[in-house]
């Protein structure tokens, strides 16, 4: 009976093991994000590790640092690019909201529209970077393409992020404490289920012939021939 109680097949034990793994991932993400400039690489590594954890593949530290190292340069460029664009959009919203010249509200609306597109893109860009090998230009392009192709999942991801942000803004300190210590990895683990479901449609499936040699299936989904991705990372 005791053997069954402490077995790794026990759902309770598996749950606590999962929480432990997510806590370690969260610590890795925090430590590797401290220089700020590395936030893109650490976020890419976190998303990659969460998808691997869901698939029960590899080890936490190995997966995280593998992705961190391989995607460091491109993820850092993406992060700095999005940081600058986000700052400009934020300043634009503040400026045009307080400006009184005729047509200022129209310009504010245009900036708001671009800000929404920016937020939609950032939901996917680091996840795409963690999973596929592409140029920076194509990674950004596909973040929009996938977002609007899978609008239902995009809305779900946006609601998850919005819920976490609002919970940390308008609730007790305990929520902030939980978010900092384990919340980021839990959120990304939750979101990774949607990423995996979407990305599977863009990865050519492998079928085995009678000679044990595989060939890649070209007709996976409607986007299989659209050169959406280059290579599974």
Q: What average pLDDT is seen over the chain?
A: 85
pLDDT digit string (tens) for 139-166? Answer: 999 999 999 999 999 999 999 999 988 8
3-state helix vs strand vs coil in the chain, percent to 5? 75, 5, 20
Please list, in sequence order, all residues whose beta carbon lies within 8 angstroms of the beta carbon of residue 41, skipping any fewer than 6 positions away: 32, 68, 71, 72, 75, 76, 79
The token duo for 87 is 């700052």
Q: Does pLDDT of 219 surpass 80?
A: no
Minimum mean pLDDT range among 102-106, 144-148, 215-219 = 215-219
Cβ pair 140, 121 in contact under 8 A: yes
Is residue 26 very low, low, confident or very high in pLDDT (cuts 50, 70, 90)?
Answer: very high
pLDDT at 30: 94
| pLDDT band at 188; cut points 50, 70, 90 | very high
Tokens at residue 113, please?
């529209």
Burial of 92 by CB count in 10 Å (0-12 exposed, 13-18 middle, 19+ buried)?
middle
pLDDT in tens, 110-130: 999 999 999 999 999 999 999
Three-class SS of 32-82? HHCCCCCHHHHHHHHHHHHHHHHCCCCCHHHHHHHHHHHCHHHHHHHHHHH
Distances (CA, A) of 147 to 141, 150, 158, 177: 10, 5, 11, 31
Q: State pTM to two decimals.
A: 0.82
């Amino acid at each position: 009976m005791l053997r069954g109680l402490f077995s790794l097949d026990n759902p309770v034990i598996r749950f606590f093991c999962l929480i432990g793994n997510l806590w370690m991932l969260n610590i890795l993400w925090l430590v590797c994000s401290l220089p700020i400039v590395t936030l893109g690489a650490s976020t890419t590594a976190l998303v990659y590790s969460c998808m691997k954890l869901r698939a029960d593949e590899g080890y936490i530290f190995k997966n995280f640092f593998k992705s961190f190292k391989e995607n460091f340069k491109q993820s850092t460029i993406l992060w700095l690019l999005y940081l600058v664009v986000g700052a400009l959009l934020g300043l634009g919203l503040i400026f045009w909201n307080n400006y009184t010249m005729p047509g200022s509200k129209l310009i504010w609306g245009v900036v708001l529209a671009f800000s929404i597109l920016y937020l939609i893109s950032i939901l996917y860009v680091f996840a795409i970077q963690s999973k596929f090998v592409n140029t920076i230009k194509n990674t950004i392009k596909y973040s929009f393409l996938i977002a609007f192709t899978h609008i239902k999942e995009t809305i779900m991801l946006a609601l998850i992020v919005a819920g976490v942000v609002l919970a940390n803004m308008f609730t007790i300190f305990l929520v902030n404490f939980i978010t900092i210590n384990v919340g980021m990895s839990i959120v990304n683990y939750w979101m990774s289920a949607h990423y995996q479901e979407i990305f599977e449609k863009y990865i050519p499936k492998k079928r085995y012939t009678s000679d044990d040699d595989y060939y890649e299936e070209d007709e996976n989904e409607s986007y299989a021939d659209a050169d959406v991705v280059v290579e599974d990372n």
